[in-house]
Chains A and B, each alone.
Chain A
């Protein structure tokens, strides 16, 4: 697989809920999409447009009903549940709207949790990387604190550090700033951009906020289960 092959490739992807029943509904009507390594893209669209469904499918949390999805050149159709889990572990990082940290674990432990699940222990190398990431997101002093002792913006930074700890090829973020105030929201977004610049991981960010979308490199707009717009954002110089 060459470097210019897409990291993520969707072909005629469809998703139908309640198939075969009276309340059958098709949410995604044949999506074709490719995302290259290192891209920083926004996925926007009104409520009910199928954004969350698409994100869940990209994140291997749901399966497509039809069409093909290849991640890192490998089709995911044939993978069983364990295969999907392994793929998520290897290639993906998640940042959700409501942080979803585990309240019983400290910030540092939350960040090392994916490694604990993978290895059965936290190696010194992983621990060091987690500490560096927390340092990077400005939480060097809060590593041992529990999520309940952190502000919303701080929790989201922990979630970002956690998404990055296993060095995934792609980070999927679902409204990462959705329930933060404007100032924290700007901070978190700036952090995502900065990390993107540093590590070269691809980011796909679902957002409602046109201001944030405008600060991504590419905007994909989903309306009624179809891609209505997919274009690069012109970069204002300076």
Chain B
């Protein structure tokens, strides 16, 4: 008999719609409630997502995802320890010299073939003094192959003056450093490492987004750095860029096992940032959970009242041959409709809030602080969640309606 019913939920849908329209004010209130909940969840998700993406971009924009450096030099113990024998010994740690990574061209070749690795950039990095006239600044000199290095940290986007090129005798420097030394594009200054000194000409100024780096960074060609630091043919570190930044830690651990080098991921060097991001994500999840619970309770309370109000009508529906399942379906359908309408409205509301945020919340430079967007996947997810919440919320009231004794319901 039930198999012949068509459309399958035609009765439930029609009656549920009418019941909702009948209690117009109640329905509107609860739909707005659901919409507010959905909007908050969608907005927070988008906001935190945008914030985290922005923070990551800023952090990772100026640094590699994974960095390989030579293992630290250690001092071998004078004598192996023997059980049961007391030994008094003192080992003094060695001063760490600047050393080259063993066999680095081969390592670069291996890394480049690795899946997930987007760019590999060998580098000679060391401390030096930059001098112009009487002004002196301590700087970090990085000798790079510009094309490879650009693919790791996207130097081109950070260029604020001059051009992106690096021929022998040329340097790209941080904007603050240039200011400190009174330098402009085209000017010369000298770099001294204690043993050697070299004069270079500035061809570009970069803003790396971090004050300390802007004050200290000097990029020169790899060969120039090799000669400045007396490391002919060497490289002191290799920078990696990955397509998935969150894979860095696992890859670093893997590489550390395979290669005789110290391998650090960006998560290792930014442990605090990572835990802050995690704390944010946990808070977001908690907020989402609480809001969804409130939404469920809101829908449920309205439907419970509605079931009590509609006892007679439920009785008459049962008397005309409606089954328990159909009565239950009517109330589940109401929950689903409220959830669905609330979800649609909520997503629109969230989109509006995001639009307002982008338009009115601006940094000192008049540009949006960071961009937040509502990815369709998130919108769909949240909407689906609200819809399921609506059905869940309707479950208890619907069962109550279905179990109602029709004879008693009619007598009321």
Contact = CB atoms under 8 A, between A and B. Distances in A.
Interface of A: 52, 56, 59, 61-62, 81-82, 85-90, 92, 94, 96, 100-105, 113-114, 116-121, 162, 166
Interface of B: 1, 4-11, 14-15, 18-19, 21-22, 312-313, 315-326, 406-407, 410-411
Given A52-B411, A86-B1, A100-B316, A121 B321 contact: no
A117 B1 contact: no
Given A86-B321, A90-B321, A121 B410 contact: no
A99 B10 CA distance: 25
A59 B319 contact: yes
Contacts of B4: 119
Given A82-B324, A100-B316, 19 more contacts: A56-B407, A82-B325, A85-B318, A85-B321, A86-B1, A88-B319, A100-B312, A104-B22, A105-B18, A113-B317, A114-B320, A116-B11, A117-B322, A118-B5, A119-B4, A120-B7, A120-B10, A121-B7, A162-B320
Given A59-B319, A100-B316, A121-B7, A116 B1 contact: no
A104 to B, nearest CB: 4
A113 B319 CA distance: 12
Contacts of B320: 88-89, 94, 113-114, 117, 162
A69 to B, nearest CB: 15
A150 to B, nearest CB: 16
Nearest to B17: A104
Q: Which 6 A-B pairs have the closest CB atoms?
A: A89-B321, A120-B10, A120-B5, A104-B22, A61-B407, A104-B18
Contact of B322 (A52, A85, A87, A96): A85
A73 B228 CA distance: 109
A94 B22 contact: no
Contact of B323 (A52, A56, A81, A102): A81
Contacts of A92: 321
Nearest to A88: B321
Contact of B407 (A62, A104, A114): A62
A188 to B, nearest CB: 18
Nearest to B7: A120
Contacts of B312: 100
Contacts of A62: 407
A96 B318 CA distance: 13
Contacts of A88: 319-321
Contact of A61 (B6, B18, B22, B406): B406
Contacts of A121: 6-7, 10
In this complex, the member of B8, B21, B317, B406 whose beta carbon has the largest number of chain A beta carbons within 10 angstroms is: B406
Contacts of B406: 61
Contacts of B322: 85, 89, 117
A196 to B, nearest CB: 20
B293 to A, nearest CB: 31
Contacts of A56: 407
B324 A119 contact: no
Contact of A118 (B319, B321, B407): B321
Given A100-B410, A103-B22, A120 B321 contact: no
B10 A114 contact: no
28 contacts: A61-B318, A61-B319, A82-B324, A85-B323, A85-B324, A86-B321, A89-B320, A89-B322, A90-B321, A94-B316, A100-B312, A100-B315, A104-B18, A105-B18, A113-B317, A114-B320, A114-B321, A116-B11, A116-B15, A117-B11, A118-B1, A118-B321, A119-B4, A119-B6, A120-B11, A121-B6, A121-B7, A166-B321
A120 B11 CA distance: 5
Contacts of B318: 61, 85
B317 A117 contact: yes
A104 B21 contact: yes
In this complex, the member of A87, A90, A116 whose beta carbon has the largest number of chain B beta carbons within 10 angstroms is: A116
Nearest to A100: B316
Nearest to A162: B320
Contacts of B22: 103-104
Given A81-B323, A104-B18, A114-B321, A120 B6 contact: yes
Contacts of A104: 18-19, 21-22
B410 A117 contact: no
Contacts of B10: 116, 119-121
Contacts of A90: 321
A123 to B, nearest CB: 10
A132 B315 CA distance: 26
A116 B317 CA distance: 11
Contacts of B7: 120-121
A117 B326 contact: yes
Contacts of B323: 81-82, 85-86
Contact of B324 (A81, A87, A103, A116): A81
B14 A116 contact: yes
Given A82-B324, A116-B10, A102 B407 contact: no
Contacts of A120: 5-11
A121 B14 CA distance: 9
In this complex, the member of B9, B321, B322, B324 whose beta carbon has the largest number of chain A beta carbons within 10 angstroms is: B321
B124 to A, nearest CB: 77
A86 B325 CA distance: 12
A89 B325 CA distance: 15
Contacts of A162: 320
Contacts of A118: 1, 5, 321
A102 B316 contact: yes
A71 B320 CA distance: 16
Nearest to B323: A85
A61 B410 contact: yes
Nearest to A56: B407
Contacts of A61: 318-319, 406-407, 410
